[in-house]
Amino acid sequence: MLNALKDVYSVLWVDLRNLRRHWRSTLATSLVQPILYLVAFGYGLGGGINVGGVSYLAFVIPGIVALTSFSASFNGAASKLQVDRFFYKSFDEFLMSPVSLYSIVVGKALIGVVRGLISSGAILLVGFILSPTLMVNPLLLLVLFTSCFVFALFGVLIALVINSHQGMSTFSNLVMLPMTFLCGTFFSLSQLPEAAKAMLYVLPLTHSSESVRAAALGQPFPWLSFLALLGFGIGFFIGCIVALKKASV
């Protein structure tokens, strides 16, 4: 166990070195979108609206935090892994080392977790300043960390199964973009017809934004959604291992 953790850190180490060199531009890039959303939706669109008893601003900030944990973790893990696989071609070096596939997957996901936590943490900070109704509590931090981990694993999985830059951008337009807007980030799912709701609950970001929002606003916590999120994480992890085993055939 201890050795596996050491291996995980060895895998993460090289990505941390990279991040250390580029952290300013990395952080800036990952904050542009959420801040635009915050301005456009939080102030521009939703100025006077109330959702379920809270101001729209207080409602949308947790959604944007969840969204940031999604995009920053997913992209953070996926983009570095794709670079390793196709640009540096250094990914084989991991596979030829005595480090186990499990440690490789977790280590490769952790750079996404690090980047996701930094970015969503920054947005959370901005959110507290703008909307004092939000609360920081251990549950929120747990949900945020879990979200980042699940989405980072999602990024690793997609970077392992999609073998081209082209495929990656198709995926991001066809799957990630709709998720960004639909998964309960900007509006409450309770307004939707049942069929649409059922479809959106198949997506992990829905569970993340509902959990983050409930924790941040002190509403009853949707444990089922949190469990679903964990389930997605386990599914993605297994998917990664299968993809890696298949790659060597």
Residues of the shown chain interacting with other proteins in the complex, contacts defined by CB under 8 A? 3, 6-7, 10-11, 13-14, 17-18, 21-22, 84, 88-90, 92-99, 248-249
Give me the count of residues in the chain.
249
Tokens describing residue 185: 């980030």
Specify whether the CB–CB gap between 142 and 87 falls below 8 A.
Answer: no
Q: How far is the CB of 176 from other proteins (least distance, A)?
A: 25
Nearer to other proteins (CB atom), residue 11 or residue 72: 11
Of 206, 232, 221, which Cα lies nearest the Cα of 66? 206
Q: How far is the CB of 61 from other proteins (least distance, A)?
A: 34
By DSSP bridging, strand 50-51 and strand 54-55 are antiparallel
Nearer to other proteins (CB atom), residue 6 or residue 43: 6
What is the rounded radius of gyration, in angstroms, for the C-alpha atoms of the chain? 18
Cβ-based neighbours of 248, under 8 Å, separated by 6 or more: 95
Tokens describing residue 59: 């409602």
Q: How far is the CB of 76 from other proteins (least distance, A)?
A: 15
Nearer to other proteins (CB atom), residue 88 or residue 223: 88
Q: How far is the CB of 79 from other proteins (least distance, A)?
A: 13
Specify whether the CB–CB gap between 151 and 70 falls below 8 A.
Answer: yes
Say how far residue 48 (Cα) sits from the centre of its chain.
30
Q: How far is the CB of 235 from other proteins (least distance, A)?
A: 25
Nearer to other proteins (CB atom), residue 93 or residue 227: 93
Q: How far is the CB of 96 from other proteins (least distance, A)?
A: 6
Phi, psi of 58 (to 5 degrees): -65, -30
Nearer to other proteins (CB atom), residue 43 or residue 92: 92
Nearer to other proteins (CB atom), residue 3 or residue 188: 3
Of 212, 197, 205, 199, which Cα lies nearest the Cα of 228? 205
